[in-house]
Structure 1
Amino acid sequence: MEAVLAHLRHAIEHGEYAVGDKLPSEAALASEYQVSRSVVREALRALQALGLTESRTGRGTFVTATGPAENPTFGDYSARDLIEVRRHVEVPVAGYAALRRDADQLALLGDLVDRMDAETGPAEWVALDTQFHVTIARASGNPVFAKVIEEIRDALARQSAFLNQLGGRRTESNVEHRRILTAIARGAQDAAAAAMTEHLDHVEKTLTTIVRPARSGEAETGTTA
């Protein structure tokens, strides 16, 4: 899927398909790339998530932009909106959860982390991921924090699905989630906040990499914006 996506994205960004053009059918693309139609379908969904195309019922997939949005939108909120709010809310929330979580909340967080490690379904994993972050907010003991995370719950799920589909974030997220849980279980406020900060740093870095992949020479100079 990644190879098909990369080829189609390159073709769109370099003008082989102009805005308004219709992409070949799933069957035609599957034949061209010698892959299954399900692989092509996933690649087309990824193009749409990047904001490069849109699917029109009964008509096919059409190019809508020559490059991905710098600040993609997830539901009602942009990626920038989400990362700013998450840094100001979820970092202290993790610290408070380390001090205030009860036994039931800790057990639930442990169960969610274990289930995420074992889960193979993308949609099911995203649901668990979102529940993990909501549970930490509730464990903070502050209903205002919990309400904020509940408000952006759908956007968080959309962002998580985007990162997993285009950035392969799931395995790394599992490791980061377990670090957050370990610090909360220890009652270590500073460590929990640091673990959440690291998690959000990686989220932001992956988003940047997806929407603006390194050009020639950028990787060497460390340009990640």
Structure 2
Amino acid sequence: MNLSDSRTAGVRRVSAQEAVLAHLRDAIVRGEHPVGAKLPSEAALGAEFEVSRSVVREALRGLQALGLTVSRSGKGTFVIADRPVDNPRFGSYSARDLLEVRRHVEVPAAGYAAERHTADDLRQLTDLLERMARETDDSAWVALDSLFHVTVARASGNPVFGKVIEEVRDALTRQSALLNQRGERRAESDAEHRRLVEAIASGRQDAATEAMADHLANVEHALSDLVGRPR
């Protein structure tokens, strides 16, 4: 079963990770893998879907974030629920925790960054944009993604904003890794980040807050799309 480069109704590209995640998620919901069952090994799933083990590994991490499975060291991955949770967890924080805090911290921080940024702040943000655009490794990209958001918060000139985003950086990285399983999300995120940096560079507080608010709204939409409903 080859799921690479699949498409949903010809509307958007679906990544291999998203296709595997959706297939396994829906199979669990349909009862093909009941609660308590052990999923096939990474190697077996890779052979079934004709994808690499790294693709399978990311999809399995997605199932865990959705509250469907648990990984037991040396034993494998086991189904623990037959419905995705509405509020996935990323380490110590839930998706709802992150979105609520980010709206109240990152949106105003972006506005202050437009007013108070230094030349060095802009240099760092521009450099991060370029590195993310060139990056071919998904794990490296999500690390840069979280660093980008920390850097925007620090550019606000208020160290408290930076401290808050630094505190949730690990959760942001985990969430980003899940969201990137949605086809084309990474490219969309790169474009949203670029728009944000352009707004900060222009010195327009309203444009910067709008760009960050739009980015967070798209994050929420992509997450809802991944949690989704079985087809």
Q: TM-score, normalised by structure 2?
A: 0.86
**1:25–1:76 CA distance, 2 compared to 1 (3 A):** closer
- Alpha-carbon distance in structure 2 between the residues aligned to 1:26 and 1:195: 39
Q: Secondary structure at the match of 1:19?
A: coil
The equivalent position to 1:115 in structure 2, one of 118, 131, 145, is 131
Give the AA of the match of 2:178.
F
Q: Secondary structure at the match of 2:194?
A: helix
1:1-225 matches, within 5 Å, as 1=16, 2-166=18-182, 168-213=184-229
More relative contact order, 1 or 2 (CA 8 Å, 6+ apart): 2
- Say whether the 8 Å CA contact 1:55–1:61 is kept in structure 2: yes
- Alpha-carbon distance in structure 2 between the residues aligned to 1:147 and 1:15: 44
Q: Secondary structure at the match of 2:82?
A: coil
- Say whether the 8 Å CA contact 2:66–2:89 is kept in structure 1: no
**1:73–1:178 CA distance, 2 compared to 1 (3 A):** same
- Alpha-carbon distance in structure 1 between the residues aligned to 2:43 and 2:55: 11
- Say whether the 8 Å CA contact 2:39–2:76 is kept in structure 1: yes
**1:106–1:28 CA distance, 2 compared to 1 (3 A):** closer
Q: Kindly provide the CA deviation profile for residues 40-61 of structure 1, in whole angstroms up to 9, marking residues without a partner as x.
A: 3343333223221122222222
Identity of aligned residues (%): 67
- Alpha-carbon distance in structure 2 between the residues aligned to 1:160 and 1:35: 21
**1:41–1:156 CA distance, 2 compared to 1 (3 A):** closer
Give the AA of the match of 1:120.
T
- Say whether the 8 Å CA contact 2:65–2:90 is kept in structure 1: no
- Say whether the 8 Å CA contact 1:138–1:146 is kept in structure 2: yes
Alpha-carbon distance, 1:143 to partner = 1.4
- Say whether the 8 Å CA contact 1:70–1:212 is kept in structure 2: no
- Alpha-carbon distance in structure 2 between the residues aligned to 1:128 and 1:155: 13
Give the AA of the match of 1:159.
Q
- Say whether the 8 Å CA contact 2:25–2:230 is kept in structure 1: no
- Alpha-carbon distance in structure 1 between the residues aligned to 2:96 and 2:215: 16
- Say whether the 8 Å CA contact 1:9–1:47 is kept in structure 2: yes
**1:207–1:3 CA distance, 2 compared to 1 (3 A):** closer
Q: Kindly provide the CA deviation profile for residues 26-52 of structure 1, in whole angstroms up to 9, marking residues without a partner as x.
A: 343344344444443343333223221
**1:190–1:68 CA distance, 2 compared to 1 (3 A):** same
Q: Secondary structure at the match of 1:117?
A: helix
Q: TM-score, normalised by structure 1?
A: 0.88
Count of residue pairs the alignment pairs up: 215
Q: Kindly provide the CA deviation profile for residues 151-170 of structure 1, in whole angstroms up to 9, marking residues without a partner as x.
A: 11111111111111346421
Q: Secondary structure at the match of 2:84?
A: coil
Q: Which runs of 5+ in 1 are unaligned?
A: 216-225
Superposition CA RMSD, Å: 1.8
